[in-house]
Each structure stands twice: as C-alpha cells, then as structure tokens.
Structure 1
Amino acid sequence: MRIIFMGTPEFAVASLEALLGAGEDIVAVVTAPDKPAGRGQQLQQSVVKQYAVARGIPVLQPVKLRDADFLAELSAFKADLQVVVAFRMLPEAVWAMPPLGTINLHASLLPQYRGAAPINHAIINGEVESGVSTFRLQHEIDTGHLLFQEKVSIAPEDTAGDLHDKLMVIGANLLVKTVKAIASGKVHPISQDTIPVNAELRHAPKIFKEDGAIDWSRPVDDVYNLIRGLSPYPTAYTSLDGKVLKIFKAMKENIPTTHTPGTYLTDGVSFLKFACPDGYIAIQELQIAGKKRMDIVAFLRGYRPSSVTIVS
C-alpha cells in the first residue's frame, strides 16, 4: 500500500519508524509548519520532519488543511491509506481522500479519554490502566470505529512522561499490526457505541497553564496525581515566597496533619513539603522562576525560604 503519514511530535516518530521498519511504503509525510523557537526565534522543524527529511521522504507542511493547493498536492501522491499519529483534526476532504480511508492511533482505551491530552488526564484522574487504540477517522473527533486496542498498567509513581514513553512504543507496534491487517483485509471495525464501559465516560481536553495551579485544599491523592499528570510538561506549580515553583516529582505522605493546607515545612537541608487536609506532598524535583530544574537537596543548599515552618 502507498501510505501517507501525518504527525508532529516525538510520540509520532516511533510509529513512523516502526512502519518503515516493517517495510511499509511511506510516500509522504504531513507535519506542522516550522515555528520560531528559543531566544533567537529561529525556525524549528518538527521531529517528524527531521526524521522524514533524513530518510528522503517528501514532507508537506500545510498551514490550512483545506487549502486547495495542499489538497491537490496530497491527492497527487495517490495514497491508498493515511495514518495519523498526534496531529491536527482533519477535515473530511483530507481523511476521506484515500480509497482505504484514514486511521488514527490514540493514546487511550477508547471510548474513554477522547481529546487532545489523554495521557495527562489518565494520570490526573488516578487511573491504574490505560492503553492505545487504532480506529478509522470520521466526523466527530476520536469516535470512529475501533480496529485494535492494547492495554498497559499505570504504576502508582508513573508520571505523564513515563506513560507517554510506554504508550509510544506499544502504540507503534499496534499501528504496524493495524496496517498489516488492513492490507490483508483482516480488520473488523467495531462501533465505539458497542464497547461496554464500566464507568462514566471521561474526556481529555487540551491542558492549559492555569490547569497546573495546585489547590492545597484538595486531598493529598488529588494533588499528587496532578503533579504526576503534568510532569514533565507543562508541570504543576505553586507559589514559594512570591515566586512560581514548578514541581516535577514528589512523594505523598498520607498521614494526619494539623497544619493549614498550603503551609510548607522544611529542615532547610533535605526536605520541603506542603500540607494538604489529609497529608503532605514532599517535593523531590523542582524549578523556581529564574533557575534550572534541580533536586530538593540542591535547591535547599542555595535557597532559604522565608515565612516557612522550620522543623527538624
């Protein structure tokens, strides 16, 4: 089959690499336009583009997916199938173009966690299981007929970054399985409406900066899951002496506390922890405004918080 691959971030590179490794004919790659980045605001290519260019695969970077010139260029490749991994929402003029349609790899066990940030929301909600799904695109986002799924467990200490890396590898292999099945005619699409769901459907909307603000009046488990679910990006944050403190890694202490939620305690040497109504969050890795990311010992070596309860 002639395949056009669509994707932008690192998560998509693993799938593209797996398809090429399986001998699939990737005739073109569609990815995001180059964007200014860094202090010098120099144009930065997506990692998918870098990977494709290094292997001599033609790259398309449309600003508008309904642009007539882009649609004509896309059609000229005469693809049999389009594969989408971590890309934009496609108009019907694009996803309906190939004779075999367009398939998508999604980082959740659909129909749960439809949306832009399934990995983050699964961790934030304290899920113990996630997975990947392949499905055919249709009009409503992430609602198309399912092709294959694979589950993966979430460890209590897993961050969004950890789950991302697990699903990236598992998803790439599942995508190869899906493409091979389509080529052989051995796929049996299943409507998501027929999938039994044991709990209410949860969604995974895009994460915004304000979603990372920690509310210390929440239960310690909720705060812990928020920190895990937003690490390493965009990170949960709080305020320390008027400065923004990003938290990348923490431990939870489910113990009785008499401290007001949000109170922070330290020995000035090895720990800094914040009180919740039913326990503490002990910071392990953090970054304060204007400084680099560091572990708690290195942070306390060079920083003396004020307005803090000192304990031994």
Structure 2
Amino acid sequence: MTQSLRIIFMGTPEFAVASLQRLIDAGKNVVAVITAPDRPSGRGLQVVSSPVKKAAETAGIPVLQPEKLRDPAFLEELRGYAADLQVVVAFRMLPEVIWAMPTVGTFNLHASLLPQYRGAAPINWAIINGETETGATTFFIEKEIDTGQMIFQDHEPIQPDDTAGTLHDRLMERGADLVLRTVNAIETGAYPRIPQPTATDLKPAPKLTRENTEIDWNQPAEVVRNFVRGLTPYPSAWTILNQKFFKIYGVSKATEPTGDANSSAEPGKLYTDNRKIILVRVADGWLSLDQLQAEGKRRMTAEEFLRGNRL
C-alpha cells in the first residue's frame, strides 16, 4: 500500500532545483525546504537567494535557511515538521542529529556511480580522468560521507566533447528522475538497501581549488584536453602565459608550427602568429587554445583575443 510521506527537501544550487520540481510536479508532500542563507553576490553585492529557495517560494513551500545546522532553534523547528523522509541534493554535509531525525531516514542524490567518485566534484573528476561513463546514485546517508547503503543507480554515457557543463545538465535531469523513482519506491515500502561494494581502486572527487585546477603542460594532449573540459565552464582550468594569468575553456590538438626552435620546444612553450592562433607545447605535441579569458577581460576565442592583444 502506498503511503504519502511528509518530505523535507534540502538543496541549494540549480542542480537541485530539477529534483525539487520533479517532486512538486508529482504531487509529493514536500512540507519544507532547507537551503543556504541569502548571500551578497556580483559586483553590486546585491543579496541573492539560492535557486532552490526561489523554486520553493514559487511553489508556496516554507523555506528554512539556517546559518548553523546545529543551532538549537533550527533543530526544534525542523522537528516540528515531523518529516518521514528527508531528500538531499547538492547541500552541506549534515550532522547525525539531522540525517537521523526522520522515521524512514535521509537519502542523498550523488552524481556518480558510487562507490566511485565520492566527494564534492564527481562530475568534474569523471571527465578529467577520461571516463566514458558515469551516472547518478541515491543512497541513505550514514556517518562516513557518500558511503551509505545504495537505493538506485542510473548510468549516463560521457561524450567525447562533453564539458562539465553539458554533463551537469544531463545528470541534473537524470538525477531528478532517480529522486522521484526513489521516493515512489520508499512510499510503497519496496525498495533495496544495497551495501556499497568494497574496492581498492576507488577514484576520489575532491573539492576543486586554485591548487588542483592549474594546467600541467607536461601532460599528453588528451590528458590536458580532458582536464580543461572537466573544468569548463566552472571553475575553469588556468595557466600562466608570458607571466599573465589566463582561464582556459577549450583546447584542441594542433599541428606543429614550423621552425627548428618549435620542434625542440619544451612543454609550456607558447607559439602565436598574433593573428588567429595561440598554441602551447605539451608532452606529445601542440595544443591550440581555442577559448580563453585574460584577467579582467571576457571569455574569447583566440582570434578575438589577438585582435586587441599581443603575446
């Protein structure tokens, strides 16, 4: 017999909106939404609400925005909603006092095929590592991050020209379907709880930082290309060229420029005709910088950049 559960949804960015909207459209009983506090953003530092907050308010669902998840007043308010189930999509790490609160439990949507790519940036690292397939997993939250019993998984191929942006958008929709499927199964009482396989070759998905997003031109061309597309459009791969900072958004294999100096160039060596092309030497040849952004400027093609700048 199907039971209508009282659901609390937790999420913040655009990725989570699709899952929330899928539950709303299916008529699920979402009694409250938890999201990040409003923050100043942009050059004017205007206070901006999260995408999830905007979606919840449009649907007339109460919104809670705690600064601290362990705040006693927030916990008391949360208990007052008497949720049977909590659904988490792209939110903060939860303390046990919260994820253990509902009678059924709390499940999370993770954008990888667990146990692979546990961590903050699974979409990016799957592309960076040259994977040809990824997916989404729903699982019950437990003490160790991303290690709980799995409910459902769905697979998604990674196309050769995918970026983190294009893959993000497809997994957002596939994940939303998986969230609804999971809630439907839990409401019927017929759903699996599958322990994650034990593996020694796990690939992590750590948070992206300034330190781990710099391009290493000593790598082969395909490794660098995967690195760039795995960080496009955000946070973007970066490099220093002629002592200037650049974000790099697109690269492609290029033929070697003529000249003895270029044929023996070290990785990281820059070549440009200062008209249309910017090339960089890598371990096994040359790469064309197809889209880049100099500090303080907009994103451009190499030709657009060279119209007003020289290297």
* Code of the aligned partner of 1:272: I
C-alpha deviation, 1:193, in angstroms: 2.9
Is it true that 1:34 corresponds to 2:38 in the alignment? yes
- Equivalents in 2 of 1:72, 1:278: separation in Å? 60
Q: Pick from 305, 308, 311: which aligns with 1:302?
A: 308
- Once the two structures are TM-superposed, the CA of residue 176 in structure 1 deviates from its matched residue by 0.5
CA offset at residue 45 of structure 1? 1.0
**Contact 1:272 1:282 survives alignment (8 Å):** yes
Write the distance in 1 (CA, Å) between the matches of 2:256 and 2:147. Answer: 42
Q: Does structure 2 retain, via aligned residues, the 8 Å contact 1:28–1:77? A: yes
Alpha carbons of structure 1 residues 254 and 155: separation in structure 2 relative to 1, 3 Å = farther
User: Aligned equivalents of 1:142 and 1:26: distance in 2?
Assistant: 24
Is 1:78 matched with 2:82? Answer: yes
Instruction: Give the Cα–Cα distance (whole angstroms) in 1 for the partners of residues 44 and 288 of structure 2.
Output: 37
1:177 — aligned with what?
Answer: 181
Does structure 1 residue 243 correspond to structure 2 residue 249? no
One-letter amino acid of the structure 1 residue matched with residue 75 of structure 2: L
Deviations 1:124-182 (A, max 9, x none): 11111100000001110000000000111111111111111110010000110010000
The whole-number CA distance in structure 2 between the counterparts of 1:214 and 1:127 is 19
Amino acid at match of 1:273: L
Stretches of structure 1 that go unaligned for 5 or more consecutive residues are 306-312
* Unpaired runs of at least 5, structure 2: 258-262
CA offsets 1:72-106 (integer angstroms, 9 cap, x no match): 11111111100000001111110011111001000
- Give the TM-score of the pair, scaled to structure 2: 0.93
Q: Which moved more, 1:35-44 or 1:113-122?
A: 35-44
2:193 maps to amino acid: P
- Change in Cα spacing, 1:298 to 1:254, as seen in structure 2 (3 Å) is closer
Instruction: Report the Cα distance in structure 2 between the residues aligned to 1:27 and 1:258, rounded to whole angstroms.
Output: 65
Aligned ranges 1:213-232 → 2 under 5 Å? 213-232=214-233
Query: 1:52 & 1:107 partners in 2: Cα distance?
Result: 22
Paired residues in the alignment total 302
Tell which deviates more after alignment, 30-39 or 80-89.
Answer: 30-39
User: How far apart, in 1, do the equivalents of 2:169 and 2:133 lie?
Assistant: 15
- Of 123-132 and 185-194, the range deviating more from structure 2: 185-194
d(CA) in 1 for partners of 2:81 and 2:252?
52
Q: 1:19 aligns with which of 23, 30, 34?
A: 23
What secondary structure sits across from 2:197 in the alignment? Answer: helix
SS at match of 1:245: strand
Q: Is the 8 A contact 1:254 1:278 kept in 2?
A: no
> Is residue 220–residue 254 contact of structure 1 (8 Å, CA) maintained in 2?
no
Q: Is 212-221 or 97-106 further displaced after alignment?
A: 212-221
Query: Helix, strand or coil: the match of 1:103?
Result: strand
Identity %: 55
Backbone CA RMSD of aligned residues: 1.6
Residue from 254, 257, 269 that aligns with 1:263: 269
Choose which of 24, 49, 53 in structure 1 pairs with 2:53: 49
Give the TM-score, by structure 1 length.
0.93
Amino acid aligned to 2:166? D
